[in-house]
């Protein structure tokens, strides 16, 4: 009797999906690095293209690094016996209620008449915007 493939919810199914994702990511990013290398070696290539040639493979390796790192952290947590323990929720700080905004703003004596006229104009524009929004 042939062996059946592991179900999708099994750990092996998840691992295969993660490895496939890491490989696809690496292949795509290596393809982009190749494209940037072609751009760099062309007549109008710049050193920015060369920088991307070096960066794309690192971007492609990042998912594999994260998989490895998470796996190591999980193994460490299991070895310490803290794998099943959930961290205690952080205490929620009480946020004070906002202070009410004063309805009337006390006018400030403007020394400059031109500045006072400009501020009146801005108040009029603001009032029009408020009326148009309603």
What pLDDT is recorded for position 123?
Answer: 93
Question: Tokens representing 87?
Answer: 């961290």
Decide if 45 contacts 10 (C-beta within 8 A). Answer: no
Please say if the pLDDT value at position 10 is more than 80. Answer: no
pLDDT at 104: 61
* pLDDT value of position 88: 74
**Between the CA atoms of 32, 35, 37 and 38, what dihedral angle is there, to the nearest 10 degrees?**
180
Residue-level length of the chain: 134
* Tens digit of each residue's pLDDT (9 = 90 or more) over 11-69: 788 889 888 999 999 999 999 999 999 999 998 888 998 999 999 999 999 999 999 99
Q: Residue 54: which residues within 8 A CB-CB, separation 6 or more?
A: 33
Q: What is the pLDDT of residues 70-114, one digit of tens each?
A: 999 989 988 887 655 666 788 888 888 888 777 766 666 646 888
């Amino acid at each position: 009797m042939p062996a059946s493939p592991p179900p999708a919810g099994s750990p092996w199914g998840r691992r295969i999906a993660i490895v496939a994702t890491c490989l696809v990511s690496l292949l795509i990013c290596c393809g982009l690095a190749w494209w940037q290398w072609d751009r760099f070696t062309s007549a109008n290539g710049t050193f920015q293209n060369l920088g991307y040639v070096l960066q794309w493979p690192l971007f492609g390796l990042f998912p594999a690094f994260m998989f490895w790192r998470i796996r190591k952290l999980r193994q460490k947590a299991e070895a310490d016996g803290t794998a099943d323990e959930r961290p205690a929720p952080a205490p929620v700080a009480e946020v004070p209620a906002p202070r009410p905004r004063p309805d009337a703003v006390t006018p400030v004596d403007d020394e400059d008449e031109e500045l006072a006229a400009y501020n009146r104009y801005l108040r009029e524009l603001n009032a029009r915007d408020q009326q148009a929004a309603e």
